[in-house]
Structure 1
Amino acid sequence: MTSLNGAALGAIVIALGLVVAACSTPAPGGAPALSGSQEPAARLEVLVALDRRVADVGYRLITANIDLCASRRDVAGWTLHAASQYSDALRPVAEARFGLDGDRPGILAVADDSPAARAGLAAGDLLLRVNGEALAPGDHSGPPTHDGLAANVARLDQALALGPVALEVRRGDTTRTVILQPTVACSSFFQVDPSDEYNARADGKGVFISSTMAAYAADDDDLAMILGHELAHNVLQHRPPPAPLGDPDPVPETALARGNHWTQERDADRVGLYLMARAGFDTARAPGFLRRFGADNWRVRYAQIGHASAEARARALDAANAEIAAKRAAGQPLRP
């Protein structure tokens, strides 16, 4: 339920029980990150932990690869949510845990070394005003809805696009004003969706990963491999969004080969490895992760329509790692 610049869209997924489609084939095996038998408080804590990991890894990827992205925007590096998004079962738990209030945006997670972190913001802060204008409190009851939070987030995004913003923030019983200086990043956002399937996908605007897939990637380098692969789909414009998310960049995107229907997954693996490397993650782990995933999940062990087998993909990543190492040794830029 993570969005680095906007609302935590997955909170409505929790409330309504939706499941997203996968980029790769769902595969059984391993332990799901969530269980229907969990108490609401335990379920929320599992999702919060996954959101924070995805927020940190995703933020590093979108800020380290700006020159490869055709669409950019100003981001704060936070994950936002609101009480109005949650179901009747989770709403009181989220309100008590994070001090949420109606449609007002609350901070669920802050990426390391992000503008939000540098401004001193933290999980549990509630955003009340932006540049002196109140954010709409909305309704405190009724069925779960994302509309009120989305409207508030749109106002925040508009303010961030114009430069530094003054935020009135409530933390517990204290209200203060902080100045946040946004930074430019790729437009893609990251979202964790509750699901017991091993899924990840990209749609041109965002990167979506199931809670079970995020939990399976226990190491941040492994998580970066998954998120980097999906982000590469967006960078390569494999699934262009219906409308631009920001001003297009005239130079870098055209230098990357977009591939065709049969090569998109291969290209996303290779470019995703570069995105990882440029963000400082250990790409040497990626082939081994794919081999482990293939061993644990028979459906990705073998080739499918649009996807090579896990072993074939791992061998291709071995070759890409050698390519990256050679460029580093020669002092060349890490450009796919």
Structure 2
Amino acid sequence: MTSGRPLSRRLVVALAIAAATVACSPTPAPSTLEPLESDEALRLAALTDLDQRVARVAWSLSEANAALCPTVRLSAGWALHSARQYSPALRPHAEARFGLRGDLPGVIAAPSGSPADTAGFRTGDVLLAVAGAPLSAGEATGPAEWEGLEANIRAIDAALAQGAATFTVQRGHDRLDLAVQPRRACGYEVQLDPSDELNARADGRRLFISTALAGFAQSDDELAVILGHELAHHVLRHRPWNDRGGVARRANDGAWRAEGGSGGAEQQADRVGLYLAARAGYDPTVAAPFWRRFGASNWRVRFPQIGHASAGARAAALETVQHEIEARRRAGGELLP
């Protein structure tokens, strides 16, 4: 679980979800088969599904744990993308499906209950301006790149940092203004990396999860275990960080010592991450079975690695944490790691 910058969507997205769906359905006779969508359209559909799942879980974790995060922000809770973020092969399909143009941010997810959802934003909305200031459309052609969208996101975040902000939105043929009232959340972006590696990481500014690992998670609860672990690295300041927003490290260090905590950064992040997931309403009982299944599927985590215990050892430790969380709930205590 290492650090890195966001990757553009130039890698092939695995179609495991689509393949699983097909495998569970009877195959019709050849004469009744409908024309298949292109490979690119199917890749985009699979990627969109994962983006929306990750955005939903990331927002829940971020809002529920704002009090513990060293860096916080006022957030709309949405996930944004742009046409230029996609490879030239996928870009025409993203433009057609979502109405994207160049670097203009489009809403790919407005999780239920988020400020974006409450304000009426929908998947497919394209943001044209914030507080009357136009966002940059950039170039419509060229290789995949993230920088143009990132610059627009910085302008959006700056506006949201002041409180309620009004956005000019293109929705199909209509143009409308929507005002969003952001809420306090952890101040870290979550990036889905198109990759066939089963990996997640944190770099102090963002959380990253590969498409392969997001697809491996069988439920939002399992996805919360993964993202909660990476968020815990930020909460515990295992990565470079910005000090704005709180003193959560001191509180967590104190709790860790009071519980007799030991072990390295990964073991600490496992424990704290499961608390973060539980605080967001996710089921902590899935953590140990997830790690056993992950170990059975991936030899790289089956055995101990430098700084990482084996999957079996992590599962056993997480069962202890799960029982601790359950005991605190029965006692009516706050779920503080």
TM-score, scaled to structure 2 = 0.86
1:205 Cα deviation (Å)?
1.4
TM superposition outliers: structure 1 runs of 4+ over 4 Å: 30-35, 258-262
Q: Aligned AA for 2:248?
A: P
Structure 1 Cα separation of the partners of residues 125 and 137 of structure 2: 15
**Structure 2 CA distance for partners of 1:318 and 1:210, relative to 1, 3 Å:** same
**Aligned position for 2:152:** 152
Q: Aligned AA for 2:288?
A: P
**Structure 2 CA distance for partners of 1:68 and 1:138, relative to 1, 3 Å:** same
Q: Aligned AA for 1:228?
A: G
Listed as ranges, the gaps of 5+ residues in structure 1 are 1-8, 20-29
Q: SS of the counterpart of 1:256?
A: helix
**Aligned position for 2:119:** 119
**Aligned position for 1:22:** none
Residues 109-156 of structure 1: CA distance to partner in whole angstroms, max 9, x if unpaired?
A: 112210110111111101111111211222222333323222221111
1:33 Cα deviation (Å)?
6.4
1:87 Cα deviation (Å)?
2.1
1:31 Cα deviation (Å)?
8.2
- 8 Å contact kept, 2:95–2:101: yes
Instruction: Note if 1:247 corresponds to 2:244.
Output: yes
Instruction: Note if 1:135 corresponds to 2:130.
Output: no
**Aligned position for 2:227:** 227
**Aligned position for 2:211:** 211
Which one of 8, 14, 29 corresponds to residue 13 of structure 1?
Answer: 8
1:305-316 correspondence to structure 2 within 5 Å: 305-316=306-317
1:247 Cα deviation (Å)?
2.3
Structure 2 Cα separation of the partners of residues 266 and 222 of structure 1: 17
Q: Aligned AA for 1:74?
A: L
Listed as ranges, the gaps of 5+ residues in structure 2 are 20-37
1:72 Cα deviation (Å)?
0.3
Structure 2 Cα separation of the partners of residues 154 and 324 of structure 1: 37
**Structure 2 CA distance for partners of 1:263 and 1:61, relative to 1, 3 Å:** same
**Structure 2 CA distance for partners of 1:134 and 1:269, relative to 1, 3 Å:** same
Structure 2 Cα separation of the partners of residues 137 and 240 of structure 1: 32
**Aligned position for 2:236:** 236
1:61 Cα deviation (Å)?
0.5
RMSD: 2.4
Structure 2 Cα separation of the partners of residues 261 and 213 of structure 1: 28
**Aligned position for 2:102:** 102
Structure 2 Cα separation of the partners of residues 302 and 252 of structure 1: 32
Q: SS of the counterpart of 1:14?
A: coil
Instruction: Note if 1:326 corresponds to 2:322.
Output: no
Structure 1 Cα separation of the partners of residues 206 and 325 of structure 2: 26
Q: SS of the counterpart of 1:176?
A: strand
1:52 Cα deviation (Å)?
0.4
Structure 1 Cα separation of the partners of residues 65 and 274 of structure 2: 12
- 8 Å contact kept, 2:8–2:87: no
1:207 Cα deviation (Å)?
1.1
**Aligned position for 2:279:** 278
Q: SS of the counterpart of 1:107?
A: strand
1:261 Cα deviation (Å)?
11
- If asked which structure has higher relative contact order (CA below 8 Å, sep 6+), I would say 1
- 8 Å contact kept, 2:235–2:248: no
Residues 203-249 of structure 1: CA distance to partner in whole angstroms, max 9, x if unpaired?
A: 111111111111010111111111111110111000123xx2x7231
Structure 2 Cα separation of the partners of residues 307 and 149 of structure 1: 35
- 8 Å contact kept, 2:85–2:146: yes
1:159 Cα deviation (Å)?
0.4
Q: SS of the counterpart of 1:209?
A: strand
Q: SS of the counterpart of 2:109?
A: strand
